[in-house]
Amino acid sequence: MATHLAFLRAVNLGAKRVFPKDDIRRVVEDLGFEDVETHINTGNVRLTTRMRSRARIEAALEQAFARDRGFEVPTIAFSQREFADVAADALALTRPGLARHYVYLMKDELTAEQVRAVEDTASAKGEMIVRGRAAHALLAPGYQDGEVDPLRAAKMLGVATSRTLTVVTTLAAKWC
| pTM assigned to the model | 0.95
Q: What's the pLDDT at 82?
A: 98
> What residues are paired with 39 via a beta bridge?
44
DSSP 1: -
Secondary structure (3-state) at 27: helix
* ∠ Cα 7 12 18 (to 5°): 110
Q: With the CA atoms of 61, 66, 71 and 72 taken in that order, what torsion angle do they form, in degrees rounded to the nearest 10?
A: 40
Q: What's the pLDDT at 16?
A: 84
DSSP annotation string for 116-171: HHHHTT-BTTEEEEEETTEEEEEEPBTB-TT-S-TTS-GGGGSSEEEEEHHHHHHH
Q: What's the pLDDT at 53?
A: 96
Torsion 134-109-121-129 (CA) sign: positive
Spatial distance between the Cα atoms of 127 and 50, rounded to a whole number of angstroms = 38
> What residues are paired with 8 via a beta bridge?
75
* CATH code for residues 2-80: 3.30.70.1280
Q: What's the pLDDT at 31?
A: 97
Q: Are 153 and 135 in contact (CB under 8 A)?
A: yes
Q: Are 151 and 125 in contact (CB under 8 A)?
A: yes
Using DSSP bridges, classify how beta strands 100-106 and 134-139 pair: parallel, antiparallel or unpaired: antiparallel
State the span(s) of the chain assigned CATH 3.30.70.1280.
2-80
Q: Split the chain (176 residues) into runs of 10 and give each run's mean pLDDT.
A: 96 84 97 96 95 97 97 97 98 95 98 98 96 97 81 96 97 98
